[in-house]
């Protein structure tokens, strides 16, 4: 009996302890979620506060003297930049519109073409600081921008989870390092360094709101210390700022610490975005997820063998009608997969571009008419001046070859032979990017071999010369970080010849040929400058044979500087006012982007 009572008592105690434990766990869980909810709410309140301040300062511009208008604009711009990390993540489309350059926005597809007048801060800035102030244009830009912000404010719910916050922070760090410090969105005031400092403050605020997520408070303090050091170094003259050291000594350590933070928070990401979830450097093969640029890389079974097959096909002349041309005929490995000619032959009107780093694009061909590498290959196959054959004919040839037949049928489980051939070639092309140049190794801290001239060249390229406002790091092409969902086309006014006395624009209308959009005449995709030392001649028509000629063209102000007038030219200034020494430094830097590898 006594044993029975003791047993019942023990059971009662166990039950009580279990209930207490459950209650504690519930309390702990409740507090945990409460802290997360509080964090999200604080971020939302910060978001609304900056939105409100931005709107109010834009409202205050109306009816004021020009001095007062500029003062309120600067305040509005400051609050917009403080807002940027949250807005750019939570409302990408509106952020892009509000921060767009002052050129028409063109949306083209087979069924419709829309030409949208730009809005936002760059439009306001250029109107407000124009010597011949157009009051009506300024007021229109102000009202449309303000109304868009008010509309955004009506639906502020963010519902940010921990992995959203990490993505948001990573996006902003990359944005600072690739566009923020380059002058990309401060064309007149040239305040990009100061504005990058503002965005850092929002990063600090967001992390402090999430203090409860940290098991290591030291990690939080470390990150904040890194950010404050970066803010201090951003207090510098735009032209003299050392962007190389800033990225190496600030952005990269911040990215590394952010990875440690996500580990500390035990963050689980549901999928990969354009930027790697474990990104620690802006300049490595792991920086960008190549899968993001195509829907076809999900087929990764036996991918190494598929790439090997693709390399064989890339070099096989049997893919062309008369057996005279392979992909490698025009894309020669030793010339960084170009051909060294102005145009390949007299039937071609455009220079052969490199296919290195072409994987990191959202548009292909110089006019952007293809949406994937697989689509570009189809264009080459059908082109009467290139392969001049049908895919059906290529299939027949390859399937009669027992070696190819076996590989195609065993490597691919589906019956889409047409696509599988193109996928294999594309898979090989997607390997032609190593991020292993002298520049890459130096900025990653693996070696210290850059000369003072080469480092100056990078700082000019990403600063005073404004090259990086079109050729975005890390690929140095027109695909815009940190989301990499748009490959830009530009009008720079490339001439038909090197005649500077009577210059005439190249007759190639570029993008215009696709949709006949007047505002897209002479627009071409911004190519990579990686491996540029091997890819002469330059421009879409091969008009320039040397990098010195290219730099002279840009230094003069592109087509406008030569006397070729066009209101849609997208270069930011009439001329760059670069000295000969500065030009040579930029060229020296570009030569450090040559890959050291045996692709």
How large is the angle between the packed helices 162-178 and 252-264, nearest 10 degrees? Answer: 180
Q: Which residues contact 161 (CB under 8 A, 6 or more apart)?
A: 36
CATH number for region 39-283:
1.20.1420.20
Beta bridge partners of 538: 544
CA dihedral (17, 18, 19, 20) positive or negative? positive
pLDDT of residue 542: 97
- In 3D, which of 548, 532, 547 has the Cα closest to residue 335? 532
- The answer to whether 269 and 277 have CB atoms below 8 angstroms apart is yes
Residue 384: left (phi > 0), alpha (psi -120 to 50), or beta?
Answer: alpha
pLDDT of residue 297: 56
Length of the chain: 599
Domain limits of the chain?
39-283, 301-429, 438-591
User: What is the CB neighbour count within 10 angstroms for residue 405?
Assistant: 13
- CA max distance for the chain: 116
What gap in Å lies between CA 69 and CA 80, rounded to an integer?
A: 16
Place of tokens 């506060």: 49
Retrieve residue 453's tokens: 């001239």
pLDDT of residue 23: 47
- Number of helices (H), then strands (E), belonging to the chain: the values are 22, 4
Q: Which CATH architecture has domain 301-429?
A: Orthogonal Bundle (1.10)
Helix (H, G, I), strand (E, B) or coil at 226: helix
Q: Which CATH architecture has domain 438-591?
A: Orthogonal Bundle (1.10)
- The answer to whether 582 and 464 have CB atoms below 8 angstroms apart is yes
Give Cα separations from 181 to 52, 242, 460 (angstroms). 26, 10, 12
Kind and range of the H or E run holding 107: strand 105-108
User: What is the CB neighbour count within 10 angstroms for residue 21?
Assistant: 10
What gap in Å lies between CA 377 and CA 56, rounded to an integer?
A: 52
What gap in Å lies between CA 25 and CA 366, rounded to an integer?
A: 60
Q: What is the 3-state secondary structure (H, E, C) of 261-300?
A: HHHHCCCCCCCCCCECCCCCCCCCCCCECHHHHCCHHHCC
CB-count exposure of residue 93 (10 Å: 0-12, 13-18, 19+): exposed
Retrieve residue 97's tokens: 């519109």
What gap in Å lies between CA 141 and CA 120, rounded to an integer?
A: 7
Cβ-count burial 55-66 (b if 16+ within 10 Å, e if not): bebbebbeeeee
- The answer to whether 192 and 180 have CB atoms below 8 angstroms apart is yes
CB-count exposure of residue 233 (10 Å: 0-12, 13-18, 19+): middle
pLDDT of residue 37: 58
Local confidence pLDDT in tens for the 599 residues of the chain: 444 444 554 445 444 444 444 444 444 444 344 444 588 889 999 999 999 999 999 999 988 999 999 999 999 999 999 999 999 999 999 999 999 998 898 999 888 999 999 999 999 999 999 989 899 999 999 999 999 999 999 988 788 999 999 999 999 999 999 999 999 998 888 899 999 999 999 999 999 999 999 999 999 999 999 999 999 999 999 999 999 999 999 999 999 999 999 999 999 999 999 999 999 999 999 999 998 988 655 577 899 999 999 999 999 999 999 999 999 999 999 999 999 999 999 999 999 999 999 999 999 999 999 999 999 999 999 999 999 999 999 999 999 999 999 999 999 988 899 999 999 999 999 999 999 999 999 999 999 999 999 999 999 999 999 999 999 999 999 999 999 999 999 999 999 999 999 999 999 999 999 999 999 999 999 999 999 999 999 999 999 999 999 999 999 999 999 999 888 999 877 799 999 999 999 999 999 999 987 56
Task: Tell me the pTM.
Answer: 0.92
pLDDT of residue 480: 96
Q: Which residues contact 251 (CB under 8 A, 6 or more apart)?
A: 173, 174, 176, 177, 230, 282
Same fold, 301-429 and 438-591: yes
């Amino acid at each position: 009996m006594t044993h029975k009572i003791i047993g019942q008592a023990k059971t009662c105690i166990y039950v009580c302890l279990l209930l207490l434990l459950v209650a504690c766990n519930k309390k702990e869980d409740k507090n945990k979620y409460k802290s997360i909810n509080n964090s999200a709410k604080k971020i939302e309140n910060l978001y609304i506060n900056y939105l409100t301040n931005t709107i109010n300062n834009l409202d205050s511009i109306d009816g004021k003297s020009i001095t007062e208008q500029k003062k309120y604009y600067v305040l509005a711009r400051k609050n917009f930049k403080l807002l940027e990390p949250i807005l750019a993540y939570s409302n990408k489309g509106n952020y892009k519109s509000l921060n767009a350059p002052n050129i028409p926005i063109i949306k083209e597809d087979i069924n419709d073409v829309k030409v949208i007048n730009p809005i936002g801060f760059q439009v306001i800035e250029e109107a407000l600081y124009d010597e011949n102030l157009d009051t009506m244009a300024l007021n229109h830009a102000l009202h449309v921008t303000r109304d868009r912000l008010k509309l955004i404010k009506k639906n502020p719910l963010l519902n940010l989870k921990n992995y959203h916050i990490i993505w948001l922070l990573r996006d902003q760090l990359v944005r600072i390092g690739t566009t923020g410090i380059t002058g990309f969105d401060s064309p007149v005031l040239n305040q990009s360094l100061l504005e990058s400092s503002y965005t850092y403050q929002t990063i600090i605020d967001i992390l402090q709101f999430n203090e409860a997520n940290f098991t290591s408070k030291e990690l939080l303090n470390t990150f904040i210390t890194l950010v404050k050091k970066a803010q201090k170094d951003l207090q510098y003259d735009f032209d003299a700022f050392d962007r190389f050291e800033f990225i190496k000594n600030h952005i990269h350590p911040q990215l590394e610490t952010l990875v440690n933070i996500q580990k500390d928070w035990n963050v689980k990401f549901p999928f990969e975005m354009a930027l790697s979830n474990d990104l620690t450097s802006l300049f490595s093969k792991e920086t960008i997820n190549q899968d993001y640029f195509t829907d076809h890389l999900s087929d990764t079974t036996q991918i190494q063998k598929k790439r090997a097959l693709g390399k064989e096909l890339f070099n096989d002349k049997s893919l062309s009608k008369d057996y005279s041309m392979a992909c490698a005929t025009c894309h020669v490995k030793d010339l960084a997969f170009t051909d060294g000619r102005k145009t390949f032959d007299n039937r071609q009107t455009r220079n052969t571009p490199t296919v290195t780093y072409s994987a990191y694009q959202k548009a292909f061909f110089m006019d952007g008419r293809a949406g994937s590498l697989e689509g570009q290959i189809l264009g080459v196959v059908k082109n009467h001046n290139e392969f001049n054959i049908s895919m059906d004919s290529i299939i027949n040839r390859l399937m009669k070859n027992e070696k190819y037949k076996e590989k195609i049928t065993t490597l691919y489980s589906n019956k889409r032979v047409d696509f599988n051939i193109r996928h294999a070639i594309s898979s090989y092309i997607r390997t032609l990017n190593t991020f292993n140049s002298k520049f890459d190794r130096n900025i990653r801290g693996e070696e210290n071999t850059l000369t003072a001239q080469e480092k100056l060249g990078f700082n000019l390229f990403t600063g005073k010369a404004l090259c990086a406002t079109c050729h975005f790091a890390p690929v140095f092409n027109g695909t815009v970080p940190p989301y990499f969902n748009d490959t830009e086309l530009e009008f720079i006014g490339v001439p038909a010849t090197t005649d500077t006395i009577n210059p005439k624009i190249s007759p190639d209308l570029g993008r215009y040929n696709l949709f006949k959009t007047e505002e897209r005449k002479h627009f071409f995709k911004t190519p990579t400058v990686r491996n540029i030392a091997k890819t002469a001649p330059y421009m879409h028509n091969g008009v320039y044979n040397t990098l010195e000629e290219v730099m002279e063209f840009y230094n003069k102000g592109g087509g406008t500087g030569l006397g070729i007038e066009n209101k849609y030219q997208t270069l930011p200034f009439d001329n760059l006012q670069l000295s000969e020494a500065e030009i040579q430094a930029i060229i020296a830097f570009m030569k450090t982007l040559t890959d050291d590898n045996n692709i």
